[in-house]
């Protein structure tokens, strides 16, 4: 074996080591989620709904944002205000990292929840939260897209037409900054578990964008 051949083989060996070290440096240990990992099991964020000020918002208005989405209604007596308060606490606990996080509250009760009133409702919890609704078909289609069940009872004969019961399934859908569904939280999750996983997701997506 000539000296030149040995030199070439040595260079190739060093290159192979460098490539392996680079790949190891770029590969990160998969995060351990406290929430349900739904990556690849639910569709991307996609909607066109009515917001306050007679505006129409779509998923494109939230490009680059990590979205915490849940369905409910403003006159909900327990689940919705509790969830809004919890998500607002999560955003607060994230500190500066929350600048690219948005809470998205979608009402399944468009008859009573008009966009301006809905926005006032979510503003009471978090000024960066967004309240949205649409006509019955829009809301139904979007709920079906994310496998959310709800039912609106008809008012009893002679009762106030605005006095009726609404039931809906629970859960917070978490989408990354590219609009991909990543995590699902039940309403029994602890605030610190939500905060931890959202912080991990923010770091993971930031790291991915660098590569």
Instruction: Indicate if the pLDDT at residue 207 is higher than 80.
Output: no
How is domain 33-210 classified at the architecture level of CATH? 3-Layer(aba) Sandwich (3.40)
For the sheet with 66-72, list strands across it: 36-37, 181-185, 172-175, 66-72, 101-107, 130-132
Name the pLDDT band for 209 (thresholds 50, 70, 90): low
What residues form the annotated binding site for Cu cation?
76, 80, 168
Residue 25 has pLDDT above 60, yes or no: no
Residue 196 is predicted with a pLDDT of 96
Choice among 100-104, 157-161, 171-175, 196-200 with the minimum mean pLDDT: 157-161
Whole-number percent of the chain with pLDDT over 70: 83
Instruction: List alpha helices for the chain, DSSP H.
Output: 3-26, 79-94, 115-123, 136-145, 191-210
Q: Specify binding-site residues.
A: 76, 80, 168
Q: Is there a contact between 86 and 194 (Cβ–Cβ < 8 Å)?
A: yes
What's the gap between Cα 125 and its chain centre?
A: 17
Domain ranges in the chain are: 1-30, 33-210
**What's the whole-number mean pLDDT along residues 73-86?**
94
- pLDDT at res. 1: 54
Query: Which tokens is 150 given?
Result: 């709800």
The average pLDDT across 162-191 equals 92
User: In the predicted model, what is the mean pLDDT of the chain?
Assistant: 87
> pLDDT tens digits, residue range 125-148?
999 999 999 999 999 999 999 999
pLDDT at 187 over 90: no
Beta bridge partners of 51: 55
DSSP 34: S
Q: Is the pLDDT of residue 150 over 80?
A: yes
């Amino acid at each position: 074996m000539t000296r030149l051949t040995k030199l070439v083989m040595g260079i190739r060996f060093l290159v192979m080591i460098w490539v392996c070290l680079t790949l190891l440096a770029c590969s990160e240990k998969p995060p351990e989620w406290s929430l349900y990992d739904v990556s690849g099991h639910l569709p991307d964020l996609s909607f066109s709904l009515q917001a306050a000020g007679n505006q129409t918002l779509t998923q494109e208005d939230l490009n680059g944002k990590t979205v915490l989405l849940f369905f409910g209604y403003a006159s909900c007596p327990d689940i919705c205000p509790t969830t809004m308060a919890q998500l607002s606490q999560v955003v607060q606990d994230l500190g500066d990292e929350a600048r690219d996080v948005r809470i998205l509250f979608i009402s399944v009760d468009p008859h009573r929840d008009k966009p301006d009133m809905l926005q006032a409702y979510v503003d009471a919890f978090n000024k960066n939260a967004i309240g949205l609704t649409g006509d019955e078909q829009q809301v139904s289609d979007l709920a079906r897209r994310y496998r959310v069940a709800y039912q609106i009872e008809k008012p009893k004969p002679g009762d106030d037409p605005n006095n009726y019961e609404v039931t809906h399934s629970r859960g917070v859908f978490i989408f990354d900054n590219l609009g991909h569904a990543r995590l699902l939280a039940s309403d029994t999750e602890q605030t610190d578990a939500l905060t931890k996983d959202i912080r991990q997701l923010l770091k993971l997506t930031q790291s991915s964008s660098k590569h």
